[in-house]
């Protein structure tokens, strides 16, 4: 009997030792994912992206990779979280161009105003050779893996509390909130306004108190931020498209098996498509432009009006990019404009 008990004890001890050795190796890898908005797939594009990504990664890897989302900028400001991703404190982030420019200033070349004639062209450009070229450059210069380029809600439009906008002279003297990007500031200046860089968390109050007269963002963001409560006019300028840049810590990416990488890549691509779709749905539904038009005075620029803005803004942005980034900026700008021209 003692021999039997002793044998069972040895087996139990061996199992504990095996569990101790293999446990960490078999434990699920976790992707902590930062994004800026609510964790609701029906509320905003990043909510849709995060939800779809989590579901497809966890099911596709049979649980060997888990996804934990951190919405609403819980981990800090976008630029600060970017450094957390780079350091491996968290594994992934969906970043605005404003936050991402702190690590990769050359992202500003995509801010040429009125480059796109319709939203579908943006998908062709950022999913195609140009997107791959920029992703490779980002990876080379930042050491972070690029998962893809998402949709922040469509084209940027301008709201304000002063008057309708039909020409650059209508923007004269208007204080327009922008991200801290030199390119965004230059666009507003060229179009006649006065750019004011204000943190996202302070924009509503700035508009409410008159620190800023207006701001620029896509329709879904204008709607869920409730800017209609503090802004009277909405002008559908459609002047820029600013994608989300979705990145992952390179060391973590390389820790994934080939099959896990394939699942993560597929999940991200599907999530980006979902985010784009949600952006278009919100934009055109009674939660987007329809709702805003009930409380705001809305006007779209005519082709003739848009031409006046193009005339003053495009040369200024090209000049800024060349002076700021030199030959490298010129080369990346040419690649971007060539891709826009070729997009179908």
Using one digit for the tens of pLDDT, what is the confidence trace for 16-43? 333 343 333 346 899 999 999 999 999 9
Kindly list the domain boundaries of the chain, sorted by start residue: 27-152+243-284, 157-241+285-342
Using one digit for the tens of pLDDT, what is the confidence trace for 306-319? 999 999 999 999 99
Architecture of the domain defined by 157-241+285-342: 3-Layer(aba) Sandwich (3.40)
Write down the pLDDT at residue 291: 93
Q: How confident is the model at residue 200 (pLDDT cuts 50, 70, 90)?
A: confident
Mean pLDDT for 259-287 is: 96
Write down the pLDDT at residue 344: 72
Closest CA relative to residue 111, chosen from 44, 171, 168, 156: 156
Q: How confident is the model at residue 7 (pLDDT cuts 50, 70, 90)?
A: very low
Spell out the long-range contacts of 205-209 with Cβ–Cβ below 8 A and sequence spacing 24 or more: 206/177, 207/161, 207/177, 207/231
Mean pLDDT for 100-126 is: 96
Using one digit for the tens of pLDDT, what is the confidence trace for 228-258? 999 999 999 999 999 999 999 999 999 999 9
Write down the pLDDT at residue 8: 41
Q: Is the pLDDT score of 1 beyond 80?
A: no
Q: Does the reported pTM lie above 0.85?
A: yes
Q: Could you give the angle at which helices 303-342 and 129-142 cross, rounded to 10 degrees?
A: 80
Top CATH class of 27-152+243-284 equals alpha beta
- CATH topology identical between 27-152+243-284 and 157-241+285-342: yes
**Is 94 exposed, middle or buried, given 0-12, 13-18 or 19+ CB atoms closer than 10 A?**
buried
């Amino acid at each position: 009997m003692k021999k039997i008990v002793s044998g069972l004890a040895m087996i139990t001890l061996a199992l504990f030792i095996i569990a101790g050795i293999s446990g960490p190796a078999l434990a699920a890898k976790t992707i902590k994912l930062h994004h800026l908005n609510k964790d609701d797939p029906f509320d905003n594009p990043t909510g849709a992206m995060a939800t779809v990504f989590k579901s497809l990664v966890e099911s596709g890897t049979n649980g060997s990779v888990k996804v934990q989302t951190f919405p609403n900028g819980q981990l800090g400001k976008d630029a600060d979280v970017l450094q957390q991703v780079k350091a491996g404190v968290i594994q992934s982030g969906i970043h605005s161009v404003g936050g991402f420019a702190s690590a990769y200033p050359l992202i500003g070349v995509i801010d040429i105003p009125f480059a796109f004639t319709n939203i579908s062209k943006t998908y062709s450009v950022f999913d195609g050779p140009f997107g791959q070229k920029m992703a490779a450059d980002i990876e080379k210069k930042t050491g972070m893996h690029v998962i893809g380029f998402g949709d922040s809600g469509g084209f940027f439009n301008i709201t304000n509390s002063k008057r309708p906008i039909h020409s650059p002279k209508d923007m004269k003297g208007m204080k327009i909130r922008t991200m801290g990007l030199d390119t965004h500031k230059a666009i507003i200046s060229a179009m006649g306004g006065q750019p004011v860089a204000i943190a996202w968390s302070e924009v509503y109050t700035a508009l409410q108190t008159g620190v800023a007269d207006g701001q620029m963002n896509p329709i879904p963001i204008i709607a869920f931020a409730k800017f209609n409560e503090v802004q009277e006019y909405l002008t559908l300028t459609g002047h820029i498209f600013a994608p989300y840049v979705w990145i992952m810590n390179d060391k973590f990416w390389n820790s994934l098996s080939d099959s896990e990488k394939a699942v993560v890549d597929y999940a991200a691509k599907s999530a980006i498509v979902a985010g784009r779709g949600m952006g278009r749905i919100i934009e055109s539904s009674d939660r987007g432009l329809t709702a805003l038009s009930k409380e705001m005075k809305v006007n779209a620029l005519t082709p003739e009006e848009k031409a006046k803005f193009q005339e003053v803004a495009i040369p200024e942005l090209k000049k800024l990019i060349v002076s700021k980034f030199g030959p490298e900026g010129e080369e990346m700008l040419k690649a971007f404009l060539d891709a826009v021209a070729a997009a179908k």
